[in-house]
Amino acid sequence: MDARQLEYFLAIVEHGGFSKAAAALHVAQPSLSQAMANLEADLGVAIFHRVGRGVVLSEAGTELLEPSRRVLRDLAAVRDTAAALAGLHGGTVEVATMPSPGIEPLTTLVQRFAELHPSVTVSTQAAFTPDEVVSLVRSGACELGLLGSASPVNPSGLDVLNVEDQPFVVVAAPGGPVEDDVALSPHDLAGQKLIASRTGSLMRSIVDDITAGGTGTEIVTVVDHRTSILPLVLTGVGVAVLPSAWTRLARRCGAVVAPIEPTAHLHVAMVSLPAHLTPAARAFLSLTGSLAAHRARPPSREG
């Protein structure tokens, strides 16, 4: 067994078959097939089942996924360490992120990381629940995971860095009853049309609590992709309840943002498998820790 065989194996899984994997790897398909035959012979088990012209993972192949990703990640860490010792730079940090943390603090983190390490690429993968983020990190698909949850998380086997708590705010088009930076209560949203995400998120639970108050507030649009929310707000479809991560972007786009009192908070954390981090990922994690410490510090008072 060698690293090349594991790389081929993962490529077949990720691209959904031998022909697409061969094209992505720029190798002849017979060579790829022979490498997998040799791997199966070395392991003594079938890792793929041939179904028609396609393949599906066997039980043994499924069990091989996570160890294979970790082996290749560790080899990448060795190469990156050697490159760093030689005074070279490069590599990729792979981060799984949920939508709101993907706005902020990810924007600030990537901006500062790019300034410090301009030759390193930050690659993000979308996830929509804390469990999805944890799964991507635990499986080795991503080195780091940025998530937001209703309460602090503590997944077994992972390190957790608590980054910040984001209060929820109301985002609305200008010229309406919502004034920028003027606090309001859920009751102040009486009669408003709300744009909401689907059931299951903390955002949606807050919206449901508001509509349950019997004030005439109603959900006018439900969206899967939260990138749709801000354009819908700006066109006057309705107002939205979002984590404060969206504040800077919303104001730059011309929307008004008002705090809600009282409100829940989105707990933002970064999770990682410390034994399997490349030097670039460790640097990104260290930068996240510095940002978390800075944001936890109370503002200074002058005079």
Q: Is 84 a member of any domain?
A: no
CATH number at residue 217: 3.40.190.290
Q: Are residues 145 and 217 in the same domain?
A: no
State the residue range of the domain holding 25: 3-73
Q: Are residues 170 and 137 in the same domain?
A: no
What is the C-alpha to C-alpha distance for residues 278 and 4, in angstroms, rounded to an integer?
Answer: 19
CATH number at residue 282: 3.40.190.10
What is the C-alpha to C-alpha distance for residues 229 and 61, in angstroms, rounded to an integer?
Answer: 40
| 239-243 vs 159-172, strand pairing mode | antiparallel
Q: Are residues 56 and 201 in the same domain?
A: no
Q: Are residues 41 and 27 in the same domain?
A: yes
Contact 240, 250 (CB under 8 A): no
| 218-223 vs 193-197, strand pairing mode | parallel
Q: What is the largest CA-CA distance in the chain?
A: 77
Q: What is the pLDDT along the chain (303 residues), one digit of tens a residue?
A: 678 888 889 999 988 889 899 888 888 888 888 889 988 988 889 998 887 777 889 999 899 998 888 888 878 777 766 666 444 367 789 999 998 999 999 999 999 999 888 888 899 999 989 999 999 999 888 999 999 999 999 999 899 999 999 999 999 999 988 999 999 988 888 888 999 988 888 888 888 888 887 677 889 999 988 889 999 999 999 999 999 999 999 999 999 999 998 888 999 999 998 777 888 888 899 999 999 998 887 655 544
Pick from 140, 117, 132: nearest CA to 272: 140
Q: Are residues 148 and 176 in the same domain?
A: no
Contact 190, 269 (CB under 8 A): no
Q: Are residues 126 and 189 in the same domain?
A: no
Q: Is 83 a member of any domain?
A: no
Domain count, the chain: 3
Structure-block tokens of residue 120: 């390193």
